[in-house]
Every structure is written in C-alpha cells, then in structure tokens.
Structure 1
Amino acid sequence: MSHKRDIWVNHVQLRNIIIEKPNVKIFEVGFNTYHEFVESHIPGAMFLDTCYFEQPPLWKIVGLPEIYQTFKKFRITPSSTVILYGRQVAAAARVAHIMLYAGLSDIRLLDGDYAGYKQSNLPTESGGHNLKDVAMEGVVAFIANRSLVCDKSIAKSLLEERNASLVSVRSPKEVNGRCSGYSYIKQKGDIIGAKWGHAGTSAYLMEDYFGPDNYILPLEHIERLWESEGILKHHKVAFYCGTAWRASVAFLCAYSLGWKDICVYDGGWLDWIQEECSK
C-alpha cells in the first residue's frame, strides 16, 4: 500500500508551516539568478544556486561532502523543514530531490512558485544575505538515501527488467530526434526502449505537469498519463531528461503519490551519449 507524502504546499500552508515548525528554512532556488532574488523575494528566504548541487560539464550531482558543506553554510540540519521555490519550478525540484538524496526528510515545494506567490499579492522583500552571518559551526550527521539516484549502468539494466521503467521526461521534439533541447547538447534522439513520461513543448516547459498558472496539475492525472505509457507504481522506475531538472519534477510527483522504488538517472540523455561521443 502506498502512502502519499505532502510535498507541494500552497501559500496558506506556507504561512502555517512557518508558524508551527521550529526549524524552518525557506530558499529561492535558481541558476545564476541571485540578482533577481536581491530585487524581490519571499520574506525570510535565502538564495541557493543550483551550482551548489550540480556541476558542468554533465551537470551531475556533486559529492555528498560538498552538499553537506552547503547545508552547513545555511544551517540546515536533519531536523530542518526546508521549503523551496524558484522562478523555474524545475530548478527547485532538482534541489529538492538532491536534498532528499542527501538525507533530509521534510522537504516542501511551493505550489505556484514565485509567480503565483506574487500574483496573490503577498508581501515580498529585497536585499541579499551574508553567508558568514549564516554558517553554523561543526558538522551534523546525515544519512544519505543513495537509492534515490542511479547511474548509467542501472539505467541500462532497467531496460532489460520486466517490472521496471526507464522514463524519459522530455518533449516530443526531443524524443523524436527533431532537436536536442539544449544549446550545449548536440546529439539528438532518445534512449531506445525508454518509456515516455510526458513533459511539455520544450526543455524548459512542462505543460503536462503544470497549468498555465504554474500550479501542479492533480497528481492522479499525471499518474494516469504514466499508466497510459505502461509506467506503473509497482515498477522500479528511474526518471531522466536532458540532465535532471524535469526528471526531478517527475520524481517528486511519484514521491508525493507514495511510489516506492523510484530514482533519478543523474545526467540523463547528456550522460547517456558520452560513450557515443568518445568513439
């Protein structure tokens, strides 16, 4: 029996969590968008750049010691409740998945993202933060959930298993080889044998998961889309995309639905094509 998890929270729930939880951290997540954060953000939030957690050229997850150093900088402990939002929901989802992988258990995503927050006429503030004023002393022990991430060898093995699904969370144009989806990925196409997990019209849009207002569609609707492609909750499932942002959105939807044996194939299509590139 699956048990649903509360990941997506609305603006009212956000306020209640801040009041009720003793160790709440709010972060805006983005890639090289600190200047936007400084101009305007949710009161009390701090900024996390995705580069704290993934690095080029393959944009794979950094080592756990580096992740824990970032946790230390921002006083994140195993008992912290972490609320994430961004200007791109996939950026926040990427970091949310990595935090779960690193051992945090109470992770929330703000439904509607920052755009929805502002449209609700809720208060904002401006200004940056000084990490020297934030960092804590000492190292706090975390227990990593390593099964939430898989590599190419495991991704390949899922293609051969009967009750398993390697799931492509990419646009039809990417899946059909009409484009790679990214300026830094030349090779077009997709993994032969992978199942399509739906996504959107480009590498930066996910209309199959979110409405035009940036709010997540009913999770049961998304689950039915997967079922129509043969992706089932009793399967061992690995989600991937061009690298991992959209795959993290899909992972969090499955996680919220209570799916058990799920992970993200870190590096995705960009990682998969490296063997071909080296020939």
Structure 2
Amino acid sequence: MDESVVVAPDWLATRLEDPQIRIVDVRDAWEYEGIGHVPGAVSIPFDSYRDESDVDRGTLPGADAFAALLSEAGISPDDTIVAYDDTHGVFAARFVLTALEYGHDDVRLLDGDYSAWNRAYETTSDVPEIEPTGYEAEPLSREESPLVDLETVEDALERDALFVDTRDTHEFEEARLPGAVRFDWREAVDDETRRLKSEADLEALLDEHGITPDREIVLYCNTARRISHTYVVLQALGYETVAFYEGSLTEWLAHDGTIETGPVVDE
C-alpha cells in the first residue's frame, strides 16, 4: 500500500512528535472533545468542508473557505496531513480528496479509524495549542484534477470506460448509470480490524468486479462522499486512470441522464 496515500497506525504512532505531521480529526466536535482523539490532532468536522450551495463543484466548499479552515487549524502547505474519522475512513477520505483538489501536496488517510487506533494506542482529550497560519489554496486546474463533469461522463459512456457505483444494493437497483458495476466502498474494509483489507485481498476483490488497473475507471455514488474512499484505495494500489464524478447520480438525475434499474444477474 502506497504510504504517500494511506498510512498505518504504527507509521503515525512513531511520528506524533514531528511538527510537520498534522493530524486532522473530521468527526463531530463533540466526539473530538468528549470521547477523545489521537494525540496532537486538530478538529476539522466533516460538515465544515462540505457545502451544498454550489459555491464550487458538487459539495466542495470553495478554495477560500477551505484555506480558512486549514489556517485556523494551524496547517501550512508544506505539512503532511493525516486525516481520520470513526467510520472506516469514508469521511476522512473526503477530506483527503478535498485537500488534494485545493492543491495540498501531501495529505494521507489513516488506515483504520479512531476505534482502530484506540485499540492499540493512547488517546487524549488535550487540545493542542494552535498558531493560525496564512494558508493559501492553489486549486488544481481542470486538466490536473481527477474530478470530471457531466459532459465528460457522457463522453466516457461512449467509450470503454468502466463506471463503478459505490452505493448500497437497493440504491444501485433503483437507478444507476448505464453499464455500471457495483462495488460497495465498505467491501474494502475488514470489519473485525476496522482497517483496510490486505493489498493482495483488495486486488483480488477488485479483480472479481472487473476493476483492474488497465481500465479507464469513473467512480460515482450519490453526492461524492463514498467514492472518496474508493478513490483513495485505488490510488494507494497504484491505479492511474481513475476519474471522480463529483456531481454523481444527484447531478445525473437532475439533468435527466439515462439510467438503468433493477437487479443485475450475478450481483
């Protein structure tokens, strides 16, 4: 697993005193304050970097708003950010995607969540002292970004692109993009350890779904949260041609895009 994308708890545990490793807890503020957190972590709740008012594509909060969040958290552009939640990493993965989109070079997902960390390492209720920074975001260009729009998705449907739907079965059967395969994002997680499955197991699992590195892959869900997790997993495994449909099915349906319904044989 590529450590520039996903890091294990023991990797982080040996770097808690490194001033350039900034740990971000994206759970609700009451969880951060009341339950405890990874030592040194700052609180940037999920709702604070998600905006459904069309300020930017999909639910992105806008570069200025995101930069203000990182400034208040004392984070600088050169820092290595490690994000976590307590929901198998799906909310933290959305933070990772958002930070990458706004130009932060080194942001990683903690393999596992708060509960997984708590099984092996200490936690704390102490809030670190924060010195605000003047963070300036540098959003990726449309050419650099993995995010794709409606028109690009329509074009991809005309090619041999593989559309991957990361939602639940009932959602998939109610409406999906034509030809899509379903890969529930949670399939990548080991329920017992709360961490990602092994690299070999993940590769075998993805292969069973036809999700292979040689394919052009387009990810979607409803509002681009769940695909963030799958996107990070594929990046950690070295997949290179992965597009991220930020508008997802919500935008597709709003524009009367063609859909398929019903169960799929052998699903």
1:199 and 2:184 aligned? yes
Q: Name segments (4+ residues, structure 1) moved above 6 Å.
A: none
Distance in 1 (CA, whole Å) between partners of 2:232 and 2:112 is 15
Partners of 2:75 and 2:132 within 8 A in 1:
no
Measured after TM superposition, the shift of residue 22 of structure 1 is 4.3
- The equivalent residue for 1:98 is 98
- The equivalent residue for 2:114 is 114
- The equivalent residue for 1:85 is 84
- Pick one of 228, 238, 253 that aligns with 2:218: 238
- Pick one of 11, 31, 38 that aligns with 1:36: 31
Aligned partner of 1:16: which letter? T
Name stretches of at least 5 consecutive residues in structure 1 with no aligned partner: 178-188, 201-205
1:50 and 2:50 aligned? no
Distance in 1 (CA, whole Å) between partners of 2:209 and 2:159 is 16
TM-score normalized with structure 1 length? 0.79
TM-score normalized with structure 2 length? 0.83
Aligned partner of 1:114: which letter? Y
- The equivalent residue for 2:242 is 262
- The equivalent residue for 1:151 is 149
Measured after TM superposition, the shift of residue 176 of structure 1 is 1.4
Measured after TM superposition, the shift of residue 116 of structure 1 is 0.8
For 1:113-161, what per-residue CA distance to the aligned partner results, in whole angstroms no more than 9, with x for missing partners? Answer: 10011122x222225578xx5422x454636264221122222221111
Partners of 2:43 and 2:73 within 8 A in 1:
no
Partners of 1:233 and 1:260 within 8 A in 2:
yes
- Pick one of 127, 131, 135 that aligns with 2:132: 135
Distance in 2 (CA, whole Å) between partners of 1:160 and 1:276 is 17
- The equivalent residue for 1:211 is 190
Partners of 2:147 and 2:246 within 8 A in 1:
yes
1:274 and 2:261 aligned? no
Distance in 2 (CA, whole Å) between partners of 1:230 and 1:94 is 24
Distance in 2 (CA, whole Å) between partners of 1:110 and 1:85 is 6
For 1:170-210, what per-residue CA distance to the aligned partner results, in whole angstroms no more than 9, with x for missing partners? Answer: 12221112xxxxxxxxxxx21222232x116xxxxx1x111
Name stretches of at least 5 consecutive residues in structure 2 with no aligned partner: 258-267
- The equivalent residue for 1:27 is 24
Distance in 2 (CA, whole Å) between partners of 1:194 and 1:75 is 42
1:190 and 2:185 aligned? no
- Cα 1:77/1:227, change in 2 over 3 Å: same
- The equivalent residue for 2:263 is none
- Cα 1:251/1:229, change in 2 over 3 Å: same
For 1:212-242, what per-residue CA distance to the aligned partner results, in whole angstroms no more than 9, with x for missing partners? Answer: 1211012333333333333331333221112
Partners of 1:102 and 1:144 within 8 A in 2:
yes
Secondary structure of the structure 2 residue equivalent to 1:84: strand
- Length, aligned pairs only: 249
Secondary structure of the structure 2 residue equivalent to 1:273: helix
Work out the percentage of aligned pairs sharing the same amino acid: 23
Aligned partner of 1:103: which letter? G
